[in-house]
Amino acid sequence: MADSLLGRIDPRWKIILAFSISAAASVSGQIRTAAFMVAYGLILVALGKFKAIDVAKRLAAVIT
Protein backbone atom coordinates (compact mmCIF):
# COMPACT_ATOMS: atom_id res chain seq x y z
CA MET A 1 0.00 0.00 0.00
CA ALA A 2 2.96 2.34 0.43
CA ASP A 3 3.23 3.00 -3.30
CA SER A 4 -0.48 3.69 -3.71
CA LEU A 5 -2.44 6.92 -3.41
CA LEU A 6 -3.71 5.87 0.02
CA GLY A 7 -0.21 5.05 1.20
CA ARG A 8 0.91 8.63 0.65
CA ILE A 9 -1.88 10.23 2.71
CA ASP A 10 -1.05 11.27 6.27
CA PRO A 11 -2.40 8.66 8.73
CA ARG A 12 -4.08 11.34 10.83
CA TRP A 13 -6.27 12.30 7.87
CA LYS A 14 -7.12 8.65 7.27
CA ILE A 15 -8.33 8.29 10.86
CA ILE A 16 -10.39 11.49 10.69
CA LEU A 17 -11.98 10.47 7.39
CA ALA A 18 -12.67 6.91 8.57
CA PHE A 19 -14.33 8.20 11.74
CA SER A 20 -16.49 10.74 9.91
CA ILE A 21 -17.64 8.21 7.28
CA SER A 22 -18.37 5.61 9.98
CA ALA A 23 -20.36 8.12 12.01
CA ALA A 24 -22.39 9.21 9.00
CA ALA A 25 -23.11 5.61 8.01
CA SER A 26 -24.15 4.60 11.53
CA VAL A 27 -26.76 7.33 11.96
CA SER A 28 -28.32 6.94 8.53
CA GLY A 29 -30.95 4.31 7.90
CA GLN A 30 -31.31 4.81 4.17
CA ILE A 31 -30.49 2.23 1.52
CA ARG A 32 -28.75 4.90 -0.55
CA THR A 33 -26.26 5.43 2.25
CA ALA A 34 -25.51 1.71 2.40
CA ALA A 35 -25.01 1.62 -1.36
CA PHE A 36 -22.70 4.62 -1.14
CA MET A 37 -20.66 2.90 1.58
CA VAL A 38 -20.21 -0.21 -0.58
CA ALA A 39 -19.13 1.92 -3.54
CA TYR A 40 -16.81 3.96 -1.32
CA GLY A 41 -15.22 0.78 0.01
CA LEU A 42 -14.65 -0.59 -3.47
CA ILE A 43 -13.06 2.67 -4.54
CA LEU A 44 -10.73 2.59 -1.54
CA VAL A 45 -9.74 -1.00 -2.31
CA ALA A 46 -8.89 0.06 -5.86
CA LEU A 47 -6.96 3.15 -4.76
CA GLY A 48 -5.08 1.18 -2.13
CA LYS A 49 -4.02 -1.45 -4.67
CA PHE A 50 -5.10 -4.24 -2.32
CA LYS A 51 -5.29 -7.82 -3.52
CA ALA A 52 -8.89 -9.00 -3.80
CA ILE A 53 -8.12 -12.29 -2.04
CA ASP A 54 -6.69 -10.47 0.99
CA VAL A 55 -9.77 -8.26 1.23
CA ALA A 56 -12.06 -11.29 0.90
CA LYS A 57 -10.22 -13.14 3.69
CA ARG A 58 -10.56 -10.20 6.06
CA LEU A 59 -14.22 -9.72 5.24
CA ALA A 60 -14.86 -13.44 5.78
CA ALA A 61 -13.24 -13.21 9.20
CA VAL A 62 -15.51 -10.29 10.14
CA ILE A 63 -18.68 -11.90 8.83
CA THR A 64 -18.20 -15.25 10.61
Identify which has the larger pLDDT, 2 or 35: 35
49 Cβ neighbours under 8 A, 6+ residues apart: 1, 3, 4
The pTM score is: 0.64
Average pLDDT for 35-55: 85
Q: Is 30 left (phi over 0), alpha (psi -120 to 50) or beta?
A: beta
Q: Show the domain range for 28.
A: 6-63
Total number of domains constituting the chain: 1
The DSSP code for 9 is S
- Examine residue 1 and state whether it is found in any structural domain, yes or no: no
Contact assessment for residue 19 and residue 27, using Cβ atoms and an 8 Å cutoff: no
- Examine residue 16 and state whether it is found in any structural domain, yes or no: yes
Model confidence over 8-30: pLDDT tens digits? Answer: 888 898 888 888 888 888 888 88
